[in-house]
Structure formats: C-alpha cells, structure tokens
C-alpha cells in the first residue's frame, strides 16, 4: 500500500509538470468583481496584457460585479482548475468570508492565492469646516460632541463602515454613520460639508486635498505616501492600532496543479513589477506587493482575523 501511495504521488506530480509544460493551451480569463472602468478592472487589464505577451494566449477580462464580490468568486471557483481562469479578488472578498462566508468560494479554501498585486492605504479626510488639523483634534472634538460628527460608509460590511466603527472603538468616541449606496458615492456630500468624515483611497481625493477643499488627517498604512508626503500615518497621528489597506490579488480554483500556479506566479510578478505598471500604481498612492502564494495565504489569514475582530466587537451584520 505504501508503494502504491508513492506511485500515485509521483503520477500526480508528473501530470502536474506535463500540464505546466503545455500551459496555457487556450485563451485565459480574469474574472473581476467590479464593473468596467473601475480601478480593479483597470488593474486586471494591465496585467492581462502582460500575461498575454508572456504566455502567448489572449487574456480576457470578465466583469462580474455584485454580491460583495461573491458573484465573481463563485464563477471563478466553479471553473476548471487548470489555470485558465483567474479571480482578481478584492479586500471585499476577504471581509465577506468573515461576515457571511459561502462554502462555494472562500479565499484560501475553494480559491487558492497566487500573488497579491496592489496595496492601497485608505486616507482619513474631513471637510475643512471642522476645525481639526490632526486626528487628536478630531477625537477631542468628537468627544465634546457625542453623535455630532458623521462619517460616510458604503453600507453594511463595507471597508469604510468597518474603519469607521474601528475608529470609534479605538478612540472611545460616538461618531454617526451615514451610509451610501456605493464606494465614493459620498464624495459630493463630503465636498459640500453634508457629511464630515470619509475613509477613501488617495487617488480620488488628491486634487480636493491639494486645493484645500478637503483636509487629509492621516494615512491608514505603515508609511507615508509619496503623493501625500505631509500627511502622517495613523501611528504618527496617535492611533497606532488603526490600519486599513485596500488590496487586490490573483486566485485560482482549488485543485489547480502547483506547477501551473508557479508559472502564473512567475509571470504575474513580472507583470506587477513592469516599469510602466509600477510607475502608474505608485502615482495613484498604491504600491506593489508581488508576494508568494504562501505569503499571500498568510496575509489573507491575518486579514480575516483583523476584520473578524472588528465585525464581532462592533456587532456588524451582513445585509
């Protein structure tokens, strides 16, 4: 029986190597859980073009928005595990796995990590009508006016809601949530002063901050951003426990042979680090991760633990 087991393992390994040598044998696709023209869609098309050049097969981008990323995840997880279908998963997918897990398509289980692409720290911004120049000023004002300050969210289970509730917990304040129907839908009201606070990606607030129509209080990442060099991190600003980074990365269906994953990893990392892509990523306030499958899996595990704790403590429920 032992010899039979070794024989089966060797046969599987040889089969995987054979698949890798003939991979890809047809057009590939990247399933994206957001609409055409969105930032994740643009990212997918950037790396899709590089993969196509490197591997000699067309790479199609298929947009499957909705369901907090579940629609796209379900489609990718149900595809043949041969490397020809990939998912550009977002932080939303990891949050959904904690908030309302679906056994069809969980990250690190039914979907296997290949490599993380971009990391984008959120920025805490306020309307200039608030006489607050620092996070400490903001917290003090919020304590003086319980329920008097507001923050914008993209609704239940969104990263902006989780960050807002985490801020309240970390600072001991009562800040009123104002939910919106989509990401960045709050920007007109934020610019008009109808809502006081938001947690957004740098790209969408660079111009308003530079023109002093909004004030950036803190970068919610481990280091300052080149595009906002004067804005401190949350650690520098006095809230060291608060960190929120929007990320994306490539996954494949469970059962995809390891040699095929290694081919994808090699070419994805090359694509991520291509000068034109890396430069564009940096200019939007993001940076490239380009980690290994094992490092990406560990990162997903840590994200699940971090956001799971926030969800539990804030008693956040899925829609």
Which tens digits make up the pLDDT trace of 140-151? 999 999 999 999
CA dihedral 14, 20, 22, 26 (to 10 degrees): 140
SS3 state at 217: strand
Class of the domain covering 123-237 = alpha beta
Backbone angles phi, psi at 317, to 5 degrees: -115, 150
Residue 193 per-residue DSSP state: T
**Averaged pLDDT for residues 57-66:** 97
**What is the pLDDT at residue 18?**
55
Residue 21 binned pLDDT confidence (cut-offs 50, 70, 90): confident
Q: Where are the domains of the chain?
A: 27-120+246-314, 123-237
Q: Which two tokens stand for residue 192?
A: 């008009």
CA-to-CA distance for 56 and 85, rounded, in angstroms? 15
Q: What is the pLDDT of residues 94-131, one digit of tens each?
A: 999 999 999 999 999 999 999 999 999 999 999 999 98
The alpha helices in the chain, defined as continuous H runs, are 2-22, 39-55, 70-77, 91-99, 135-144, 159-171, 187-192, 202-210, 234-237, 258-272, 275-283, 293-314
Q: How far is CA 27 from CA 22, 113, 126, 146, 164, in A?
A: 13, 21, 46, 56, 42
Query: Could you give the CA distance from residue 48 to residue 149 in angstroms, rounded to a whole number?
Result: 43
Asked whether the predicted pLDDT for residue 9 surpasses 50, the reply is: no
pLDDT of residue 20: 67
Q: What is the mean pLDDT of residues 74-100?
A: 97
Between 8 and 267, residue with greater pLDDT: 267
Q: DSSP character for 232?
A: P
Cis peptide preceding 24, ω within 30 of 0: yes
pLDDT of residue 7: 46
64 within 8 A of 40, measured Cβ to Cβ: no
Task: Check whether 19 has a pLDDT greater than 70.
Answer: no
Share of the chain above pLDDT 70, in %: 94
Identical topology for domains 27-120+246-314 and 123-237:
yes
Beta 176-179 vs 287-288: how paired, if at all?
unpaired
Question: Among candidates 212, 182, 184, which has minimal Cα distance to 198?
Answer: 184
Query: Which pLDDT tens digit goes with each residue over 215-243?
Result: 999 999 999 999 999 999 999 999 988 99
* Separation of alpha carbons 147 and 174, rounded Å: 5
Task: Indicate the pLDDT class of residue 8, thresholds 50, 70 and 90.
Answer: very low
User: Does 12 have pLDDT greater than 60?
Assistant: no
At the fourth CATH level, which superfamily is domain 27-120+246-314? Bordetella uptake gene, domain 1 (3.40.190.150)
The mean pLDDT value of the chain amounts to: 93
Between CA 296 and CA 279 the distance in angstroms is: 22
Largest CA distance in the chain: 75
Instruction: Let me know if 270 is exposed, middle or buried by CB neighbors in 10 A (0-12, 13-18, 19+).
Output: middle
Long-range contacts of 204-213 (CB under 8 A, 24+ apart): 205/123, 205/125, 206/285, 208/125, 209/125, 212/128, 213/128
pLDDT on residue 2: 58
pLDDT confidence of 4, banded at 50, 70, 90?
Answer: low
Tens digits of residue pLDDT in 185-210: 999 999 999 999 999 999 999 999 99
As a whole-number percent, the residues of the chain with pLDDT over 90 amount to 89
**Residue-wise DSSP of 56-106:** SS-EEEEE---GGGHHHHHHHHTS-SSSSEEEEEEHHHHHHHHHS--TTS-
Q: What is residue 318's predicted lDDT score, i.e. its pLDDT?
A: 78
């Amino acid at each position: 029986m032992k010899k039979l087991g070794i024989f089966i393992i060797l046969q599987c390994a040889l089969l995987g190597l054979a698949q890798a040598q003939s991979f890809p044998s047809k057009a590939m696709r990247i399933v994206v859980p957001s609409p055409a023209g969105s930032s994740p869609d643009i990212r997918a098309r950037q790396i899709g073009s590089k993969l196509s050049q490197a591997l000699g097969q067309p790479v199609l981008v298929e947009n499957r928005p909705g369901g907090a990323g579940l629609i796209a995840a379900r489609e990718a997880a149900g595809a043949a595990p041969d490397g020809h279908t990939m998912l550009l998963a977002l932080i939303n997918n990891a949050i959904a796995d904690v908030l309302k897990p679906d056994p069809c398509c969980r990250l690190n289980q039914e979907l296997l990590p290949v490599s993380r692409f971009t990391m984008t720290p959120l920025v805490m911004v306020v309307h200039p009508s608030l006489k607050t120049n620092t996070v400490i000023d903001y917290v003090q004002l919020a304590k003086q006016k319980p329920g008097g300050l507001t923050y914008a969210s993209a609704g239940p289970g969104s990263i902006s809601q989780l960050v807002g509730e985490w801020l309240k917990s970390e600072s001991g304040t009562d800040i009123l949530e104002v939910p919106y129907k989509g990401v960045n839908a709050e920007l007109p009201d934020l610019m008009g002063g109808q809502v006081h606070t938001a947690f957004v990606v740098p790209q969408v607030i660079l111009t308003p901050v530079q023109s002093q129509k909004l004030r950036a209080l803190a970068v919610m990442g481990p280091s300052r951003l080149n595009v906002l060099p004067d804005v401190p991190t949350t650690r520098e600003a006095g809230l060291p426990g608060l960190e929120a980074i929007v990320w994306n990365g490539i996954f494949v269906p469970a059962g995809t042979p390891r040699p095929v994953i290694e081919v994808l990893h090699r070419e994805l990392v090359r694509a991520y680090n291509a000068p034109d892509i890396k430069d564009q990523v940096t200019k939007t306030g993001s940076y490239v991760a380009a980690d290994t499958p094992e490092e990406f899996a560990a990162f997903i595990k840590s994200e699940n633990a971090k956001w799971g704790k926030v969800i539990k403590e804030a008693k956040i429920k899925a829609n």
